[in-house]
């Protein structure tokens, strides 16, 4: 078997004109889809039988959103096969099979004809009953008709019997007429409904992308042609489960990190029972670094003085953790085992990983069906067990509570894309967090909620304002605080206390840190004035921290504390 691969922009490889090529319609099926964080690449294949000569193979089942510049054609054949140029265009195609629609129209037309024939028969019977009623009415008038003058008296009929017969036939004729009217009314409604269905059976049109592949076949053979193209209305989003086991005196803490993916698409074609791969590559996000241009500085022309800017609005309060997944995570009913039955834990399938220097590709196990409705298809990618370092962090100035953090290093395999993480502590769902973009081996932290086994207290010990100096007087503001933290765990904990002092915005304003215990770090994360005290607390140990600050400025001026 020979294999031939040609790009969509390849020039014709045969000397004869392709204008007279025979058209071969190819019915292709989706075999594989590689989904990116934004967009996807789809692989369609079709088998065609070719006679010797030149042909035009038509692929009319690509979606309208297929990116024309991304279309590539490849081929495998049992003989010599040359692929020439590849053309694309937009076209309208029936949403359903035309043959099926024609059959449905014929069925409706036949049903309408049968109902109309049935109505004609009933209408004929109704007319006959009306004629019979007219004759009966004339018969009822006979007893009132006098014989001509001078005529011999004729024998009189038995009018009682005649009147009885007339009444009976009249009732039968009226009943026949009423039944006919009821049946005709019902038939008219059914005919009207079928006519509406027939009128509504106009073939619906879908916009598609048609691909024309010009090929030349040396002999009669079978070929398998593949079309690759990219679409934009598809994506996958990572999300994570972080399950922390805090351990105990003799057990070290463990953290299981499960990476999952949510796949969705609105490409106009359903992905049914196909192989799906997920790539961390982000096509179209830029292929080159931005360019810098010269920046100049010059004297400003005389301009009106700008108006003073208004004070910045207060920062909005932090939103509470979403608990959207709590019901889903915790609401499952427990399965009770029958006596003597041993229940085994279900194993969730994981994707296989193909790591490359610049991307990671996850092959989802089995076949997936992802409908073009935007509904999410969720799969598990991988799971790793990590050894975290537990740290208790508190910011008593804002909230006199302790919060448990797990310090981790990302696995040295693939990058982790940013996404939501569901947090579990010792099997209990505690809330949702956010995992940042992580490179292999990068350190990060995850918060696992409040630690009620650590008691935190914060108090203002001293708060004074005064004025000093005779010739050049100045004002001072002195504030002192006390923070106490007690460890009520059965094991030692690593403790980090955060607080802050004011930051001067003017040279004339002097700020001095006053602390019996100097902070371990200052200007945390490049935030001026933010302090940190780090220590290790043994079980039942309490740490007391006294610190404060002194602010001094010219007495003739006023100061304002702000953010």
Question: What digits encode the pLDDT tens for the residues 489-518?
Answer: 988 999 999 999 999 999 999 999 998 889
CA distances in angstroms from 371 to 44, 267, 307, listed in the order given: 17, 9, 57
How do residues 175-217 score in pLDDT, each as one tens digit? 888 888 888 889 898 888 888 887 776 656 678 889 999 999 8
Domain chopping of the chain, boundaries: 2-95+204-231, 99-142+163-200, 454-554
Q: What pLDDT digit, counting tens, does each position of 361-390 carry? A: 899 988 999 999 999 999 999 999 999 999
Q: What is the pLDDT of residue 277?
A: 93
State whether residue 384 is helix, strand or coil.
strand
CA angle 79, 68, 207 (to 5 degrees): 105
Q: Write out pLDDT tens, residues 300-314.
A: 776 565 565 544 444
Cα 529 from Cα 513, distance rounded (Å)? 10
pLDDT, mean over the chain: 81
For position 13, what pLDDT does the model report?
Answer: 35
Note the pLDDT of residue 278.
93
Q: What is the pLDDT of residues 160-175, one digit of tens each?
A: 666 666 667 777 778 8
Report which of residues 476 and 91 the model is more confident about: 476
Q: What is the pLDDT of residues 226-269, one digit of tens each?
A: 999 999 999 999 999 999 999 888 889 999 999 999 999 999 89
Residue that wins the pLDDT comparison between 16 and 407: 407
| Cα(512)–Cα(445) distance, integer angstroms | 32
- pLDDT, position 8: 38
DSSP H helices in 303-457:
326-330
**Is the whole-model pTM more than 0.75?**
no
Q: Find how far residue 556's CA is from the centre of its chain.
A: 61
Q: CB neighbours (10 Å) of residue 318?
A: 6
What is the per-residue pLDDT for 150? 57
**Segment among 75-84, 232-241, 329-338, 445-454 with least mean pLDDT:** 329-338
């Amino acid at each position: 078997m020979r294999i031939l691969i040609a790009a969509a922009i390849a020039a014709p490889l045969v000397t004869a004109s392709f204008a007279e090529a025979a058209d071969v319609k190819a019915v292709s099926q989706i075999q594989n889809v590689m989904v990116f964080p934004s967009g996807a690449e789809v692989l369609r294949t079709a088998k065609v039988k070719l006679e010797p000569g030149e042909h035009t193979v038509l692929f009319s089942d690509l979606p309208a959103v297929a990116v024309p510049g991304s279309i590539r054609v490849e081929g495998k054949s049992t003989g010599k096969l040359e692929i020439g140029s590849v053309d694309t265009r937009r076209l309208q195609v029936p949403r359903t099979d035309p043959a099926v629609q024609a059959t449905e129209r014929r069925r409706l037309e036949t049903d309408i004809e049968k109902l109309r024939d049935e109505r004609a028969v009933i209408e004929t019977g109704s007319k006959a009953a009306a004629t019979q009623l007219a004759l009966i009415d004339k018969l009822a008038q006979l007893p009132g008709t006098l014989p001509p003058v001078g005529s011999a008296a004729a024998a009189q009929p038995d009018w009682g019997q005649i009147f009885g017969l007339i009444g009976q036939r009249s009732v039968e004729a009226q009943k026949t007429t009423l039944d006919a009217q009821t049946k005709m009314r019902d038939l008219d409604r059914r005919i009207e409904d079928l006519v509406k269905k027939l009128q509504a059976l106009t073939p619906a049109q879908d916009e598609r992308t048609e691909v024309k592949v010009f090929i030349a076949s040396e002999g009669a053979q079978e070929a398998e042609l593949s079309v690759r193209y990219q679409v934009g209305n598809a994506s996958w989003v990572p999300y994570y489960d972080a399950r922390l086991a805090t351990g105990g005196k003799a057990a070290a803490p463990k953290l299981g990190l499960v990476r999952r993916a949510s796949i969705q698409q609105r490409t106009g074609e359903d992905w049914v029972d196909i192989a799906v791969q997920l790539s961390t590559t982000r096509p179209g996000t830029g292929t080159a670094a931005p360019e810098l241009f010269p920046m100049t500085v010059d004297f400003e022309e005389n301009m009106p003085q700008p108006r003073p800017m208004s004070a910045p609005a207060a920062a909005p309060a932090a939103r509470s953790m979403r608990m959207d997944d709590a019901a889903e995570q915790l609401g499952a009913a427990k399965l009770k085992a029958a006596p003597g039955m041993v229940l085994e834990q279900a194993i969730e399938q994981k994707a296989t990983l193909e790591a490359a220097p610049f991307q990671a590709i996850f092959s989802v196990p089995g076949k997936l069906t992802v409908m073009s409705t935007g509904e999410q298809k969720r799969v598990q990618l991988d799971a790793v067990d990590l050894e975290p370092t537990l740290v208790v962090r508190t910011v008593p100035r804002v909230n006199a509570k302790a919060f448990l953090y797990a310090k981790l290093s990302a696995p040295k395999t693939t990058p982790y894309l940013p996404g939501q993480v569901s947090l579990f502590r010792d099997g209990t769902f505690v809330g949702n967090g956010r995992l940042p973009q992580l490179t292999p081996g990068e350190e990060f932290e995850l918060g696992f909620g409040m630690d009620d086994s650590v008691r935190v207290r914060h108090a203002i010990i001293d708060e004074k304002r005064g004025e000093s100096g005779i010739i050049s007087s100045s004002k001072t503001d002195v504030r002192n605080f006390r923070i106490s933290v007690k460890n009520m765990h059965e094991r030692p904990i690593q403790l980090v206390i955060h607080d802050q002092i004011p930051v001067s915005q003017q040279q004339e304003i002097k700020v001095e840190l006053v602390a019996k215990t100097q902070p371990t770090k200052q200007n945390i994360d490049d935030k001026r004035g933010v302090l940190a005290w780090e220590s290790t607390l043994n079980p039942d140990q309490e740490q007391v921290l006294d610190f404060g600050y002194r602010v001094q400025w010219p007495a003739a001026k006023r100061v304002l504390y702000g953010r």
